[in-house]
Structures are given as structure tokens and as C-alpha cells.
Amino acid sequence: MPDEMDQVQIQIEQFQHQALADATREMNRLPSRVECLDCEEPIPETRRLAVPGCPRCVQCQTDFENITDNWRPI
């Protein structure tokens, strides 16, 4: 039987999943950038079609995700 903390964890995971889905839907409504937000190099058309609303090239997006995944508040 799940205790109170398990239930809280489940609610947090559900909230995060919904927030990610909402953000993804919103991002897909935006047109993809032609040039990368970070390095300003052209974003290949194949990426723009595969990931609607993409703001970065693959390398810059990878770098961005690695930085934000490892970020922790002080």
C-alpha cells in the first residue's frame, strides 16, 4: 500500500509529465528557426521538419540539455 510520500511522488511525476507535454505542444506551434539560436549556423531543413519549432541545431540543443540537466540551485 503506497504511503503519503509515494502518492506525492506520483503527483509530482504526473505534473511534470503534463507540463512537458504542454510545453512541447506550445513549441510545435511555433515555426522552426532557420538559424540556430546559439551558434547562428543554419538549421538543416530535415531537422526543422522533424522537430517543429526547434530553436537550435542538434549540437547546440545537446549542449543546452546537458547544461540544464546538470544545473542545481544553490
Using an 8 Å Cβ cutoff, are 47 and 58 in contact? Answer: yes
- C-beta separation of 40 from 33 below 8 A: no
User: In angstroms, rounded to a whole number, what is the distance separating the alpha carbons of residues 38 and 7?
Assistant: 40
State the pLDDT at residue 73.
Answer: 59
User: What is the length of the chain?
Assistant: 74
Contact 29, 53 (CB under 8 A): yes
Model confidence, pTM: 0.55
Mean pLDDT of the chain: 85
What average pLDDT score do residues 53-57 get? 91
Q: Is the pLDDT of residue 66 over 70?
A: yes
- DSSP bridge partners of 35: 42
